[in-house]
Amino acid sequence: MTAQLRTIASRHPDPALWYRSDWERCDDWLVELSNEEIKELEFAVNNCYPTPISELRLESFCLPNLGSRLSDLRRELISGRGFALLRGLPVWDWSRETLVRAYCGISCHLGQPVSQNAKGHLLGHVIDMGLDPLDSLNRIYQTNYRHQFHTDSADIVGLLCLQTARSGGESAICSSTTIYHEIAKYSPDLLEVLCRPFHIDRKGEIPEGQRETYEMAVFYPGEDSVTCIYARDFIETAQRHSYIPRLTDKQTKALDLVDELASSDELRLDIEFMPGDIQFLHNHQILHARNMYEDWPGSDHKRHLLRLWLSTSDGRRLPKAFEARYGKIVPGQVRGGIRVPGSVCHVPLNPI
């Protein structure tokens, strides 16, 4: 099956269509920071005071040399393979505020941070908060439970690793474009289902004038690209509402196929995080996941990632249906994130 699809891909080259074997023995997606670039970051951090972290922008975080590499990285995210790993932030040597300023400053060269929850958090803490993972209203990223393949509600997601787990917690990514073409070739009837809207829950984070659920398909094929948005737990949580029709057997089968392909050995690329790594993903073409994990003893040694959701100024135009989740769809407008009445955007340096 995979070999046959590779023949199709070779006739219609698309960097967004890739397999595990394309990248597991190649480190083109890995960008290592040099000592000079670390010093440049330190200089930029010292120069950006007293600007609040939430107000950092490209023009307030100048990186004369590293900036050109970040520009290349942004193009690869948006128009290429859709993922990259930046390695080498000195997480053990810098204070939390210095680290967050550097992380947000780097990210400003890729896009503008948007809120990740109803509290207005521009910086998310991916850490086990002791929440019940079986409660459908809790966020999986705040537990140690396995997080299935999904996208986040922004153009780009960044994940900075502060601390790895004692065991487990491995991250993985795959190309949703490849999944689309696999299903198109071998299960077109199920692809038709995935290109029709599903009911999706907002889990209580409701924008002004909107309902507690909305409708969106998994795949939106266009002339030059396939745009994907997928979070199965939000689809299943919508079933708690009495007015939402039950998922059909065919819908469930189609979702099962997405999960099966995403986690398959042929498509899944495992990513081993090290402290100081920043993973950047283009949500419209990349799904990501993580395994269940066990923390080290003591509250100071928990697996801990810092997450940013970024809105790009030069990304793709999104389908009209994305307005229900992203608010805006035209490139150049700040889009994506969670927008609820009364929330004020800020950057919490610690989990709250």
The answer, yes or no, to whether residue 4 has pLDDT greater than 50, is no
Q: pLDDT tens across 258-300, in order?
A: 999 999 999 999 999 999 999 999 999 999 999 999 999 887 8
**Torsion-angle region of 10 (φ positive above 0: left; ψ -120 to 50: alpha; else: beta):** alpha
Per-residue pLDDT band at 130 (split at 50, 70, 90): confident
**Angle (nearest 5°) at CA 279 between 120 and 309:** 20
Which pLDDT belongs to residue 141?
A: 87
Q: pLDDT tens across 156-203, in order?
A: 999 999 999 999 999 999 999 999 999 999 999 999 999 999 999 999
CATH number of 2-326: 3.60.130.10
Which pLDDT belongs to residue 134?
A: 74
Beta bridge pairs of residue 161: 305
Q: Tell me the mean pLDDT in the region 44-63.
A: 95
- 8 A C-beta contact, residue 213 and residue 202: yes
Beta bridge pairs of residue 198: 216
Strands 30-32 and 83-87 turn out to be parallel
The domain ranges of the chain are 2-326
Q: Residue 124 — φ and ψ, nearest 5°?
A: -100, 145
Rounded to two decimals, the pTM is 0.94
The answer, yes or no, to whether residue 7 has pLDDT greater than 80, is no
Residues in the chain: 352
